[in-house]
Each structure stands twice: as structure tokens, then as C-alpha cells.
Structure 1
Amino acid sequence: MTTADLHTLTGAYALHALPEDERREFERHLGDCEACTQEVRELSATAARLGLAVAETPPRELRERVLREITTVRQEPPAHGRRGRTVTTGRTGRWSGYALAACIAAAAAFGGVAVWQNQVAQDARQEANQATRQNEQLAQVLSAPDAKTTSGELTGGARGTVVVSQDRNQAVFLASGMERPPSGKVYQLWFNDEGTMRSAGLMNPAASDDAVLLDGPVDRATGMGITVEPAGGSAEPTSDPVALMDFPTA
């Protein structure tokens, strides 16, 4: 994947909608790209605030209209990509107007424009559907009738909130004011299964505010922990926890 391709993944990354290999590659890219880092930080903060908002079920026709039209909406490029060139954004990357025109002309010569357009649209739909599923599950936990919440102070003055739904067997972690992990590192979340730590996913290393649906069922877990791990995460904790939180019981 080229650097131009990576610039287009900020939105999908902020919503935890990237496949595992693309997520790892994008996290390495964040260490060298301040524009993408800032864009991810802003998108993640917005997602976190939406997660904390009171849930309200939108009309069915609104959801269908958004999913139908999402593939026609272009993402704004980072600031460094806006000078002196025409930029086209999408799942296939940012190309100059001349390069894109040349590519389309070549595809037309081989009768491939329809195939190319279909692939772009299909990729966009897959990303949108994956992000939608993630957001729906997160919102369902936050608005579950049996949802219980606990909050606490984290390292460096940050604050964390855990929301657990036993009926859904799922949990959400909301962070505010988290310091960025060291370069090449990421915060990894863990279920605490009576002293045994089980991976529950990764936080966005570029976001100080984040809302994460813990990866996996709650099951017997009595709490959660956070450690600093290499980009991409670890099979088991490799550092002392920066935070430990008990799940709410009442």
C-alpha cells in the first residue's frame, strides 16, 4: 500500500473498521504523518462524544439513505495534500487529476472501466458496512437496559469509563485525556478473567479520547486492564498495566 493510499484510511481507522493487516500498516504510518494523526484525533474525539450521548433510534429511512449515499461522499484530504494539485480521494488513494485521467484512459482501452468502478464501490460499501456494524454494537451496549457503568482516574490524569451489559455479554471502554503511547507502541485492552488476562482489542494510538467496543465476550471477566504493547498488539501482556478497572457489579 502506498503512502497516498494510507492517507485515505483515517475515517475507517477512527471507527476501528480496518482489517488487521491494514490497521498495523496505518499505525506505522501515523508515526510519520502529523496531518493524518491530527485528523484521526479529531475523528476519534467526535466518535467518543457521540458514544457518550443519549442514544436515540433514528428513523429506518434515514439509515437506509445514509448507507445508499455513503459511497458517493468524498473524504477531505489532509492539509499537506491540498496545495497545487487536484486531489481525488477514495479507497484507491489520492491521485492527481492527470494521473487519474491517464489511468481511466488506459482502463477504457482494455475495457476495464466498469470493473474498476465496481471494485471501488464494492470496497467502499464493505468499509461502510463494517463501520456501521461496529457503531451499532457499541451503541447497543451503551443503551442496553441492563448496562452498568463505572469510572475512574487513569495514569497521567486521564479518565476511563467502563459500560458492561451482561445480557449482551459485551463491554465498552470510554477514555478521555489519554496520553499518546510511545512511538511504535499502542494501548492494548485486556479482560481480567480472575487474574488471567485475555486480549480485548487495541485503542487508537493517535486519539486522546476514544470509545472502544471490547473485542470478545465478557463471560467470567471481573474487570479489565490496559498495557502498552508493540504496534499490532501482543498475545499476552508484555508490560506492567497502566490501568486496572473492576467491572461494575450493581
Structure 2
Amino acid sequence: MRKIILLLMILFVVASACNTGKKTSSGTELSAEFAAEHSSRNSLDWAGVYRGTLPCADCEGIVTEIRLNSDNSFERIIDYLGKGDDKLRESGSFDWDETGGEIIITDKSSDTKEWYKVGENRLIALDIDGNRIESSIPQEMYVLNKIDIDNVVTEKYWKLIELNGKSIQSSANETGREAHFILHSNENRITGNSGCNNMMGSYELTEGSAQQGEIKFSPLAATRMACLDAEYEHEYLLIFDGSKKYSIENDTLSLFSDGDTPVAKFVAVYLR
């Protein structure tokens, strides 16, 4: 009898340990380990750019673009329609909830938390407690859709994020200028900024495949304004002299000289 009681106690403990997961829609119990392994964080290609217009109580709508990076950093641009031309730009890091299905962005100005459910190619805005927003407004209005990323290199705003292996943090918020370039199809012109000075010139592009090709730049001309906050400017301008090829992965462009290590990386910026 004592052995039977002991066996029942062991079975109860095991059952309790297994019931720490979540239930599926059919009522099947999932272990916490299974739920974590098959979460949005681990199962979906969630890194990328999401855009949509969210409801607004006192404006025409909130045009929102969020870039989620694989290192859990983010960039966000918000445009309150009908409230002027100024856009709110911010960046930082986001957190995942314990299920790996939702992300939390903390508003630095108010210290409030904003929740988004991560779905297949979309983000769904939630309330301040991470729950579905109960409103008469259709739920589709709270969805930000992932932008389809093509492999076209021209007519895009390419923002510098890495230079000779070093991460570059530049923001148009701080100085009104950030290191970037645009390849214009018209007359093969390149325009951009070094983080301080405007630059311009021409380029030659030979597409080898959808994701890579050869590229050469003419000697670039630049304005001659002195800036104290763009220490990398000279190094940045030099990469265009030696660049010979490029590759694109998702929305990241890499420039190469002679080797297989990129001399610079850029990310496409869509909402301006």
C-alpha cells in the first residue's frame, strides 16, 4: 500500500511539472519548452521593416514604421497625420515577453511600455498590458505589415551602419545629417552625405544576379564644411574609391573592395 501511495505521489509531481506550458486551440497542453522553441521569436523570420497607419484619437492616423533587427535593436519613425511635418524618430532595444510571441518597446519619454504581437509578416499593436485592444475599430487597423524587400540597389536611401568592421551610429535627429547615399538611375548619379558634407558623383553598375554585382564609383565631389561629430568622414569617403562589388541580403547592402569582407554596410530606410 505504501508503495502505491509513493507511486501516485511521483506521478502527480511529474504531471504537475508537465502542465506548465500553454494550451493550443484544441485544448492540448504544450510544455513550456515546446512553446518557447516554437515561438514567433524562434520560428518566424521576424527581422525586417513593418509599416502601417494606426488609429489616432485626435489626428487622421499615425503612420508608423518599425525596423526590428536580429540583435533586438529597433528604429521607429512616427508621423501624426494632420499634425505638421515633424516626424518622431527613435531607436533603442526591445524585449521579448516570456512566451517569445510578443515584443515590448519602452517609450523613453514617458517610461510606458508598448506591446506588439509578432505574427507571420506582421505586428499587431496591443494595449499597455499586452492584451488585445478592445475597441469598435476593426482589428485590422492595429496591424503593421512587413514590407516586401526587393533586391534593387538603385533609388533607395542607403544609411551607413558599419564601416571597416566598426558599427556606425548616425542619426538625422542629432545633426540633420547622416551618412548615406542614393544611386539615381537617371544618368547614373550618386548623391548622399558623409555625416557632415554633401557628396555627389557617378557610378557604373553591373548586376551579376538578383543579390550581387559589380559596382564602381567616380571620384566623388563633396562640400567642405567642418564638423566635429563625423570622425569617420574621411574613412567613409575613401571606401567609394576602392569599391568593386556589392551584395544585398534582405534590406542590407554591403560594399566590397578586393576581399570577401565588406568595407561598409548600409541599411535601406523607407519612411522619410
Please report the TM-score for the alignment, with normalisation by the length of structure 1: 0.31
Higher helix share: 1
Question: Whose Rg is larger?
Answer: 2
The structure carrying a bigger strand percent of its residues is 2
Q: Give the structure, 1 or 2, with the largest relative contact order (CA under 8 Å, sep 6 or more).
A: 1
